[in-house]
Each structure stands twice: as C-alpha cells, then as structure tokens.
Amino acid sequence: MLFLWKSQNRLVYKLIVSILLFSGTITVIITAIQLYAEYRRDVNDIDVFISKIEKSFLSPIASSLWHLDMQSVRLQLEGILRFRDIEYLEITEEGNKVVVVGSPQTKHEIVKSIPLIYNFKNQDREIGKLTVAASLSRIYSRLFDRAISLLISQGIKTFLVSSFILMIFHLLVTRHLGSINLYLKSLDLKNLPRPLRLNRRVSTKHDELDQVVDSTIEMAVNLHESYQTINTELELRKQAEDELRESEERYRALFEDNPIETIVVDKDARITMYNKAKKTSGDRLPRIGDVMYRDYAASHLIDMHQELMECIKRGESKDFSDQDYKGRFLDIKMFPFEEGAIIISIDQTEKKNLEAKLQRARKMEAMGLMAGGIAHDLNNILSGIVSYPGLLLMDLSEDSPLREPIETIQESGMRAADVVSDLITIARGVATGKDVLDLNTLVEEYLDSAEHQKIESIHPLITFKTALDSELLNITCSASHVKKILMNLVTNASEAIDGAGTVTVATINQYLDELLRGYEDVRTGEYVVLTILDDGSGISSQDLDRIFEPFYTKKVMGRSGTGLGLAVVWNAIQDHNGYINIKTSKKGTVFELYLPVTRDEVGIEGEAVPVKDYLGHGERVLVVDDEKRQREIACGILTKLGYNAEAVSSGEEAVEYLKEQSVDLIVLDMIMLKGINGRETFERIIKIHPGQKAIIASGFSETADVKKAQKLGAGKYIKK
C-alpha cells in the first residue's frame, strides 16, 4: 500500500480510511459480543458451581462442624478451594469466624453466604454460615487474552482485504483519474488540445472511464473555441474601454488630484461624488445620495442648503466664508452646471493661523525690543543706585547709623535690578553662563531660599511637596534662570489656590518622541522634565494662549505681579532649547518643562574668593565704557581695591590713550553707542600692544563679537 500513500490521492486516502474505520468498527463490535458471551458463560459457571456446593458439600461440612471436627471441616473447605475461580471460604458462627481458607486477592469477586443446617432429633438447626468468594480477575484475564487474539487476527484480515480492494481500485480507477487530472492541468486554451489516452488495454466495449475521456476531450475543444471567441471580444472591448478610460482618467485626474475639497451634487442637491482632498480632510466622509447641507453638514451650515438650491435653480454662483465644527476657516464657492452644482471648500485655516502667529511674533518681538531698550536704559540708571551704596559701605564702620539706610537703598536697587533682569531675559539678551548641573540640587536650593520662605509665609495653608527622581540625569543650564523659573511657577501655582491646597515640584527622566501643544516640531531625545503641579482652579482657554505674553497678567498690577513672570519662564526655556507643556482643568494646572539631558558630569563648584585676594598693588587698569556712571563706579571700586584706575568713554579714546600709555589690564565694554565697539577696539589695541590683557564686561548676551575678541586674546566675559 506504500505507493498508494505516496500518490497523495485524496480519493484513495478517503477509501482507505472508510474501509479501515468500517472494518475496525465491525471487528470491535463482533469481538465485544463474543467476549460478553464468554464472560456471561464463565460467570454462570461460577454460579452453577456454588449451587453444587450447596447440594454436595453443605451436609458433610455441617456434620463435621456439629461434631467439632475442625480438621475435617478445613480439609473439605480446602477441597472446594481447588476449584477454578474460588479464592476464599469461611465459616462463621454467630458472627465469629470459625474456619477460614484462602484469602481474597481482588476486589472483583462474587460472594455468597450459605446457611449450614444440621438435623438433630428431626429438627433442622442453623449452626453457622458458609461464605464462598469467587474471583472474576481470572475471567477478566482470560477475556483480555481472548480480546487481543481476536483483534490481532481480525486486524490482519482487515488489512489484507483492504489492501487488496485498494490495489484493485487503484489499478482500475485512481491511476487513470490522475492521468486525466494531469491532462486537464496541462491544457493550453490558446492551442488545440492533444488526444487523451489512458495506459490500459484497449477494449471493444466502452466503460465509464472511456466516457469520461471522451467528455474531457470534448470539453477541452469547447473551451479552446470559447477562449478564442472571448479573446477576440475582449480585445475589441478593451480597445473601447481604453479609449473611454483615458478620457475618464483625464477628467478624474483633474477632479481627484485637485488639492481643493470638491463635492458634486445633482439638481436635488444630493451628493454624487467627492474628491481625494475631501477624503483626506479628516472630516466625516459624506455618503453618496446624502442631501448636501441637510444630511451631511455641521449644524450651523444647514441654512446654506437653501443657498445651494437657489444656486442650482437660478444658475448663479455663490461665495461664502464660514467656520466649520472643527474650527477650520473655509471659503465656500458654489458653481452651477447643467446636472447640478460643484461645491469647493478652500481651507484658509493655516493661512489664518500663520497670520495670527505672525501677529503674535511681531507683538512679542516689539515687546522684546521695547523691554530690551527699557532694560538697557534702566540698567545704566540702576547701576548707580546699586553700586554707589556699595562704595559708601566700604568706607563706613559696622556700627555706623548710615549703614542701614544705605543698605536699604542698595536692596531696593537690587529688587529693581531683578525686574530689569526679567526684561532683559524677555529681550533674550541676558548674559548668563551655563554649567552642567543637577536639577534636583537646584530645586532643593530654591526651596531652602528666602524667596520660597516668603511664599510659604504668604500662603500658610498651602502644602509644598516634592517628588524628585533619585536617578535624574544632568542638564546644562543657568542656575539663576532655573531658580527664577521655579520661583515664578511656584508663585503662580500658590496664587492659583484659594485657601488650602498643595503645590508639588517633581522631576523625572523622559524620552520625548511626540509633539507637544503649541510646537510644530520637537527634537526627539532624552529630557529631564521639571513639573510644577497645583490643585487650584486652572487656567481658562482664553488666557492659555496669552499667558506667556509680556505684561499680560490676571493679577493686580503692583500688588502681586508685573506680568513678566511667565514671559521670563518662556524665554528662559527657549534659551535652554527646551519645551513647555501645559495641562489644565478645573481641578488644577500642570506645567511640564522639558530640558535636554547631558551625559557630562557636574563640575566642582569653586569656592568664593575672599576680598583680600582681589586687592591690588598699584597695577594700572583702564576702564572703557560709554556710560559716565559706569566709569565712575568701576574706577571707584578698583581704586578702593588698591588699583590705579583710569577711564575713557569710547574705543577711539582708548586706542589714542594706549598709543602714549601702557596698562596692566583693560576692562572693556562690548556695546558702545558711539564709535567702534569693543571687538574693534581690542583689535586695534593688540596691534599697538600685542598680548594686552583685557576683560569684557557687558549686560547683554555673549555675541559673535565677544567670541571673536576672545579668539584674539581677550579674557573672561563678565556681566556688569
């Protein structure tokens, strides 16, 4: 049968399975019947033997028992035990075992108790009971052996018969069916079919296979003729369809690829088609047959159905401008034609948004320029208020009555300088250095600062919590800016809570790979996220788009805010190449600040240099600054420290001065309103005095001119 299995003939396989299943089932049934008959016969033999015991053995056993001849009783019981399938006998008297022969070996047994009757003085007396136990295990064993023998013999017979049937069936039928199958698979409808001949003896009488062969050849010929006819028709139809398709494709290309959303309606305003731009617009797609502006439209556009019907009936074009349910600004145009109308919707949202962004950018730029200009002027004015008290304090004793009022003046000047610093930050011109720092350390330093303690005293009912990531990565940042960010956001969070509440400051590492609200693009990568969370009343949607504008505030001016806090936060985060994400609801607000991670280690913080180490010994210092007060303050401080200080008001004066003189150090202002700037001044000076030492001082950021001057040999860049 191996060749039959290798043929992978499903018909043969089914026949094999059917024969085997049927034969096997019949074999099992017949075997079961035979075994059951033998089982009943063996059980009946046991019952017959027990009956013989009652007839033949009970009287002698009862007599021996009556005469207490226990040896005789035991011998008789042992004689019974020798019979097949008897495994246990016992005699009991009043519930007590008197004689026991054999032992029960299995749980499968037939047990019968027979009373022992003895006739004494013509009276039958029950003197005990004989219990006989016959085992079925031997019967089961014989039946099992018999079953195996029957199944093997029947299986061999079934296998041989099945093999013979299958061999005959294969020789007469299935191998020829395989040939017919191969013939059909090899048909090529383009050519006339070849003759089909089966590998068997030619007979004068046609049987069923001959009929199948004739029908197969006839079918192949018919298929070939039909194929030729259909192929000719298809070529003609294809030619016509190609011409029609080219015409339709030209039309559809104009319609589908049009970037403007277009919908075509019939005379009843029912939608007949729409283009690709409509499918990709993100709107709910219309259904063909919907009535435009009635079945398919936002509710506030339903009134336009009448306008559309008038457009179709009167043949007049119509134009509208409206905003849909998604907030898109649309220019809608209706054009009538013979079979209905074409409606196009031009999305002007991006244009509107760009215009709004441009206006906001110009506004922010104007405010920044204004803030920068004001800050520059105020910075020069405040320099006297902040610095002159310092000069005076250097000459006063610790117990002088003038020290306290002068320190008050200095403190007020410093507070005003903080506001000016905020303005400069908004103008993106503050001069701050950035170092590799641990954000957790900055948070802890801020929470221990006097500024935060003041907030805690103003809001005693608010609980301030932290959730700082112990595995936080480092960032490159300005410590002063980060602390100012913390102060502004914690202050705002505290003022957003009416009464008792909680403000939480948290840090965590996060991989950012998705867009944030308000940003068209974000740089994918690792960030440290600083989160300030409050459970206040939240921020309204009207305020949310404006909170970062300078001078925009909901607080009372002069009492709790200047309107610069969040503008400072925004510009500081921009300077740090970070992002801000805001989540707000009636249950509170979350500010998430994303700051780029650095793998550099935190540097060792230098120790404060004592004033005595600044003291000079008559070294000559030239101060170059266009502001008179700045020159006076710088010269005053340097003179107090033991230096021989002189000053000039412009770069040109400095060059002329150094043509005749030499100095040990130049303190050089980088931005001077008149004449040449600090870089050009330094370029001319080093031509006169190569290797001249200089320090660059400015209140603005480190510009390209500063870096060029440092490449030429200038030293550190310090903030005024």
- Residue identified by tokens 């700051």 is 595
For residue 269, what pLDDT band results from cuts at 50, 70 and 90?
Answer: confident
- Ramachandran bin of 588, using left for φ above 0, alpha for ψ from -120 to 50, beta for the remaining angles: left
Q: Which domains does the chain have, with CATH numbers?
A: 10-155 (3.30.450), 256-347 (3.30.450.20), 362-598 (3.30.565.10), 613-719 (3.40.50.2300)
Neighbours of 711 (CB within 10 A): 9
Give the pair of three-digit tokens for residue 647. Answer: 């000053």
- Residue identified by tokens 């047994």 is 109
Q: What is the DSSP letter of 2?
A: H
Please report the pLDDT score of residue 419 as a whole number. Answer: 63
For residue 70, what pLDDT band results from cuts at 50, 70 and 90?
Answer: confident
Torsion of CA 24, 25, 30, 34, to 10 degrees: 90
Q: What is the 3-state secondary structure (H, E, C) of 195-207?
A: CCCCCCCCCCCCC
Give the pair of three-digit tokens for residue 155. Answer: 């299986």
For residue 431, what pLDDT band results from cuts at 50, 70 and 90?
Answer: very low
Over its C-alpha atoms, the chain yields an Rg (Å, rounded) of: 55
pLDDT in tens, 494-526: 998 988 999 999 999 999 888 787 776 788 999
Whether 602 and 457 have beta carbons less than 8 Å apart is answered as no
Whether 133 and 110 have beta carbons less than 8 Å apart is answered as yes
Please report the pLDDT score of residue 271 as a whole number. Answer: 84
Q: List the single range of 89-93, 149-153, 550-554, 688-692 with lowest mean pLDDT.
A: 550-554
pLDDT in tens, 324-334: 666 677 788 88
Query: Of 220, 301, 227, 295, nearest to 265 (Cα)?
Result: 295
36, pLDDT greater than 90 = no
H or E segment and range at residue 583: strand 579-585
Query: Of 634, 605, 599, 650, nearest to 718 (Cα)?
Result: 634
Average pLDDT value for residue range 612-634: 87
555, pLDDT greater than 70 = no
Most confident of 119-128, 264-273, 420-429, 640-649: 640-649
For residue 450, what pLDDT band results from cuts at 50, 70 and 90?
Answer: confident
Q: Is 627 helix (H, G, I), strand (E, B) or coil?
A: coil
Torsion of CA 122, 123, 127, 128, to 10 degrees: 110
Record the pTM: 0.46
Q: Find the helix packing angle between 479-495 and 565-575, rounded to 10°.
A: 140
Q: What's the CA angle centered on 120, arms 117 and 124, to 5 degrees?
A: 40
Q: What's the CA angle centered on 47, arms 41 and 50, to 5 degrees?
A: 145
Give the pair of three-digit tokens for residue 669. Answer: 């202002």
Q: Are strands 462-467 and 501-512 parallel, antiparallel or unpaired?
A: parallel
Query: Of 570, 537, 565, nearest to 551 (Cα)?
Result: 565
Whether 596 and 581 have beta carbons less than 8 Å apart is answered as no
233, pLDDT greater than 70 = yes
Maximum distance among all Cα pairs of the chain, rounded to whole angstroms: 171
Start-end of H helices in 517-619: 541-544, 565-575
For residue 530, what pLDDT band results from cuts at 50, 70 and 90?
Answer: very high
Length of the chain as a residue count: 720
